[in-house]
Amino acid sequence: MTAIAVTIAGSDSGGGAGIQADLKTFAALGVYGASVIAALTAQNTRGVTAIHDVPADFIAAQIDAVFSDLDVGAVKIGMVSQATAIEAVAQGLARHKAKNIVLDPVMVATSGDRLLAAPAIDALRRELIPRALVVTPNLPEAAALTGARLARNEEEMEVQAREILALGARTVLIKGGHGEGAESVDLLVGMGEAVRLVAKRIATRNTHGSGCTLSSAIAAGLAKGLDLAAAVHAAKTYVTAAIAGADQLKIGHGHGPLHHFHAQWRQS
């Protein structure tokens, strides 16, 4: 059986994040990728210049087309910027009894541009977080979801993760990439003790799409039959290597993308 994952997210015209990053990640990890485009962005490595939201009924039509035909093993949700779109996604996932949902609560691009309308945050909390097997916020996103200040240490990260758990998610992976120090520490928080995932912090400005890539890598692992802990560990390893290889690429004049195909291109 071919492993299949679907991404529900926004398109990045620059190719480094969103739908494009997700499909590259699926392909690099040996998973067939399908997509539901929830928004179009005019975007490059320097920033986002325009957003065109896809109508909710067309998002629903894409979901129905994909799930009625493909045996989807996992779902990654990224940029869904409007409350009506979030509701359409939630209803579509319920309609097709979607499983292994990975929610990346995309709110702000690497460039600092806002990608989620403020009124949609409540819809995200109410409609999508309770459906997620795992939610993968970075530090600013976790702070926005909980109404707290930016977490300054692992203790505060865990507190915010458990507040997101209380919204209905089964697991939270809170990412420490926006923190400081020699190590980048993520915390996987469920009902038991938090699990630390540690990697050496890599000095590069080319991290555009790192959150999208991590969440889609987790979905890829789930689609291949890994349990959540194994999928998260494999995804962390993949993203760390993709960031380490990012400077091999010369893409644009701002925050460049990860090297999604670092293993394949090196072999070729």
pLDDT in tens, the chain (268 residues): 899 999 999 999 999 999 999 999 999 999 999 999 999 999 999 999 999 999 999 999 999 999 999 999 999 999 998 999 999 999 999 999 999 999 999 876 666 666 677 778 899 999 999 999 999 999 999 998 999 999 999 999 999 999 999 999 999 999 986 656 668 899 999 988 899 999 888 889 999 999 999 999 999 999 999 999 999 999 999 999 999 999 999 999 999 999 999 999 875 5
Res 179: pLDDT = 58
What is the reported pLDDT for 268?
Answer: 53
Q: What is the rounded distance in angstroms from the CA atom of residue 177 to the CA atom of residue 112?
A: 15
Check residue 119 and give its pLDDT: 77
Distance CA 216, CA 211 (A): 9
> How high is the pLDDT of residue 199?
84
pLDDT of residue 192: 85
Dmax (CA) of the chain = 47
Domain boundaries, the chain: 4-267
**Residue 142 has what pLDDT?**
94
Q: Which long-range contacts (CB under 8 A, 24 or more apart) does 166-169 make?
A: 167/125, 167/129, 167/130, 168/129, 168/130, 168/131, 169/103, 169/129, 169/130, 169/132, 169/133, 169/134, 169/135
pLDDT at 217: 98
CATH superfamily assigned to domain 4-267: Ribokinase (3.40.1190.20)
Give the model's pLDDT for residue 111: 61
8 Å CB contact between 100 and 75: yes
